[in-house]
Structure 1
Amino acid sequence: MLFSNATVIKLSAPIAADLDSILNDAPFEGVSKYARSGIGWCPLVEADSTTMTRAYGERVLFCGRREEKVIPTSAVKEEVTAKVLKQESLDGQPLSSSAKRSIKDDVLAEMLPRALCKSKRIQIYHDPEQSALILNSGLENEVEDLLNLLRTSIGTLNVYRWDASASIGLFTQWLAHKTLPDQLRLGSECTLFDPESAARVTWRGQSLDATELMAHLDHGKRCERIQLIWNDHLKFTLDKHLTLRNLRLVNVDEEADEPLAGDENSPYAVLDREFALLSESLALLLPLIESTLVQR
């Protein structure tokens, strides 16, 4: 599957701007010497520096790249401790909290230019029919960084999230009574939590109607994450924020994995096929999730 996760961001209005032109104006340029992180738009295929978007019908796929410097916490702590002890020895008295924070800031500034970078490419597509952006990420900081970048690139971007306040109640009801919509059935994973103690139970690889699991529900535990199968075609885990995680196809034709000849096996041909499959599937699944789980 092209995306392993899907965070849905709704738009007040579809994006009318020419994305290809806009993305080329804000390319990823790496992280500057003293910055902690950097973000920008990048080509969909790394070997081609010119193609920033691909379209399937009205849907447009593009990609951001986020890079951040990795500074081991233990190394920072060790250096700060040594400097604090040295300064306290010179002063003959303990340092204040603000002085320790200042030393830590200095240590980080010294380490930043030498730090290694961790890079991640994050795909995103615009579906004007659903007035939505779908991002291949389940991490809030990545989603917000990309939305801010897109907002800066376009000039304005009015977005909102699904109201997922009913999700936990409905997940719990589905587990307890098996009252799912016709196109959905339970998978084999879920996460339960105790509203009072916040203790959690993760259930994997077993039937979701097992007696032991039902006992947890009888004792007041609630479901905050549940694996679902849609139309025997797509398996995913839905969390309480209605983010789709661990997307994967089920009952895939083995022939689909066989190499194709010539241009049909080029990076762009493969990308186009995968984007078509993903976006067509989500164009049917996401309205079902919205109508079933989203509060109006």
Structure 2
Amino acid sequence: MFFRNLTLFRFPTSLDLSDLEQQLAECALKPVGPLELSSRGFVPPFGHHGDALSHGLHDALWLTVGGEDKLLPGAVVNDLLQKKLAAIEEQEGRKPGGRTRKRLKDDLITELLPRAFVRPVRSDALLDTSLGVIAVDTSSRKNAESVVSEIRRALGSFPALPVNAEVAPRAILTGWIAGDTLPEGLTLGDECELRDPTDTGAVVKVQRMDLSGDEIARHLESGKQATRLALVLDDHVSFVIGEDLVVRKFKLLDGAVDQLESTERDDVTAELEARFALMAGEFKRLFNVLEKAFKLSKADA
């Protein structure tokens, strides 16, 4: 259950979560209706291995927003629509207008929805209540905002805002590649994205390369700036962070995962609990480093 991406938001550490389980239950996932395109709500983080809609450990919380999406391919709708339009044109001797096209398309969707396949989806989130930060397992800002909106719907109020840096992330990332001292515990990875600061400038994407080498140095000398950079924290976590402050390719390395292998567990629930505990601890360490390096602002209480 390790997260792969982290889209981050800040919220006040004074947030009251004393009635969380009851509030989540009132917004639990309901099956998508016959005429609905989708449905969203909370589901147990442990899936079929638990009933609770949240899992807490110390100051870390694991929430999961589940969903059901109807699969209604646009090509199928458009094909049927064209057939109906052709039949009307042949019968009436004229092409149907825009309003007729829209009405026919709406009617087709209403007709097809009850027979459409349903695709289950889930989005996981980790809340650290002591840091006042939520990490949503997605690199899509839109999907992350959707999860935050569901939490807000359940709590009634959830003043969470995307993380904001008081310094330019691009300048920090570029400086690290250029030789500036990295925060304690961080080392350069083998991947980066360099962009010319002009709107139509060149973009260079590098993978599996020594970022301290001459080739990268020449790109920096030509004025390119780092917009994404791979980093490693204490041989425990590797990740790529962008100027948008989204953490991508988040991965726990052997130095961290070895802690799991050294402990025997008898069931799936215990394994999930151990994995969450490990990830929550590594995330806290990582966020503390990023918060200081980028001077991330806190949410107003």
TM bucket (normalised to shorter chain) is: 0.7 to 0.9
Shift of 1:185: 1.5
CA separation of 1:52 and 1:230: change in aligned 2, threshold 3 A: same
Instruction: Indicate conservation of the 8 Å contact 2:185/2:233, yes or no.
Output: yes
Shift of 1:124: 1.7
Instruction: Indicate conservation of the 8 Å contact 2:49/2:268, yes or no.
Output: no
Shift of 1:202: 2.4
CA separation of 1:259 and 1:30: change in aligned 2, threshold 3 A: farther
Distance 2:249 2:133 in 1: 20
Shift of 1:7: 1.8
Q: Which amino acid aligns with 1:2?
A: F
- Corresponding residue for residue 15 of structure 2: 15
Distance 1:62 1:254 in 2: 22
Q: Which amino acid aligns with 1:66?
A: G
Distance 1:283 1:193 in 2: 30
Q: Which residue, out of 219, 223, 227, partners 1:224?
A: 227
CA separation of 1:256 and 1:153: change in aligned 2, threshold 3 A: same
CA separation of 1:255 and 1:223: change in aligned 2, threshold 3 A: closer
- Corresponding residue for residue 205 of structure 1: 208
TM-score by length of 1: 0.87
- Corresponding residue for residue 80 of structure 1: 81
1:171-193 deviation line (CA, Å, top 9, x unaligned):
22322335432321211112233
- Corresponding residue for residue 107 of structure 1: 108
Q: Which residue, out of 237, 242, 247, partners 2:250?
A: 247
Distance 1:245 1:266 in 2: 30
What are the residue-to-residue correspondences of 1:1-296 with 2, within 5 Å? 2-17=2-17, 18-164=19-165, 166-194=168-196, 195-197=198-200, 200-252=203-255, 256=259, 258=261, 261=264, 264-294=265-295
CA separation of 1:56 and 1:77: change in aligned 2, threshold 3 A: same
Instruction: Indicate conservation of the 8 Å contact 1:9/1:161, yes or no.
Output: yes
1:119-143 deviation line (CA, Å, top 9, x unaligned):
2222223211111222222222322
CA separation of 1:185 and 1:142: change in aligned 2, threshold 3 A: same
| 281-290 vs 12-21, which moves further | 12-21
CA separation of 1:256 and 1:232: change in aligned 2, threshold 3 A: closer
Distance 1:72 1:217 in 2: 45
Instruction: Indicate conservation of the 8 Å contact 1:14/1:132, yes or no.
Output: no
In structure 1, list runs of 5 or more residues that go unmatched. Answer: none
Instruction: Indicate conservation of the 8 Å contact 1:227/1:235, yes or no.
Output: yes
CA separation of 1:180 and 1:254: change in aligned 2, threshold 3 A: closer
Q: Which amino acid aligns with 2:130?
A: E
Distance 1:178 1:92 in 2: 74
Q: Which amino acid aligns with 2:137?
A: N
CA separation of 1:120 and 1:198: change in aligned 2, threshold 3 A: farther
Shift of 1:39: 0.9
1:123-164 deviation line (CA, Å, top 9, x unaligned):
223211111222222222322222221111111111112124
Shift of 1:259: 8.8
1:46-86 deviation line (CA, Å, top 9, x unaligned):
22452222221122222221221222232233223323333
RMSD of aligned residue pairs (Cα, Å): 2.6
Distance 1:295 1:252 in 2: 27
Q: Which amino acid aligns with 2:56?
A: A
In structure 2, list runs of 5 or more residues that go unmatched. Answer: none
Distance 1:35 1:254 in 2: 42
Distance 1:205 1:78 in 2: 46
Distance 1:65 1:212 in 2: 45
For the residue of structure 2 that corresponds to 1:226, the secondary structure is strand
1:246-284 deviation line (CA, Å, top 9, x unaligned):
2112233785565965xx232221122112211111212
Shift of 1:8: 1.7
